A = this chain, B = another copy of it.
Amino acid sequence: MKIEAAVDRLAALAQETRLRIYRLLVEAGPEGLNAGAIAAALDIAPATLSFHLAHLSRSGLVTSRQESRFIFYAANFAAMDELIAYLTENCCQGQAVCWPRATAAVAAAAAPDAAGLIQSRKETP
């Protein structure tokens, strides 16, 4: 992943209105929501919403599809995967594992048996 793409995705999320939209779409799952439903849920003016959805789409974090006269937007989970990988890669030159927590939480949701196998990093005072 190139740094420009990472900056673009981070910038897409680094704004309260857009982050709200993104989290709503994560919660909605692969089906997504149409623009009107998003506007209603978050109370955003149409023009403003369109501006932000364009930003999220351009970054790749959100996909869109037309369905009759609605346009549905959905979170692109693979794009977030790539971003997280980019942000956590090459940690400590590969000599240590520095990111157990969020990882452990998601892994536990996927397969509870695995959670205990993931060790914690020592506290740094």
Q: Report yes or no: A3 in contact with B19, Cβ–Cβ below 8 A.
A: yes
B109 touches A27 (CB 8 A): no
Which residue of B27, B105, B110 contacts A118 across the interface (Cβ within 8 Å)? B110
Contact yes or no, B26 A15, CB < 8 A: no
* Given the contacts A4-B16, A92-B27, A111 and B118 also touching, CB distance less than 8 Å: yes
> Is A46's beta carbon under 8 Å from chain B?
no
Taken together, the copies of this chain in the complex come to 2
Q: Indicate if the CB atoms of B96 and A80 lie closer than 8 Å.
A: no
A54 interfacial by beta-carbon distance below 8 Å: no
The 0/1 profile, CB within 8 Å of B marked 1, for residues 109-125 of chain A is 11101100111010010
Task: Give the docked Cα–Cα distance between A16 and B4 (Å).
Answer: 7
Is A98 interfacial (CB 8 A cutoff)? Answer: yes
Closest chain-B Cβ to A92's Cβ sits at a distance in Å of: 4
Which residues of A approach B to under 8 Å, CB–CB? 3-4, 6-7, 10-11, 13-16, 19-20, 22-23, 26-30, 75, 77-78, 80-85, 87-88, 90-107, 109-111, 113-114, 117-119, 121, 124
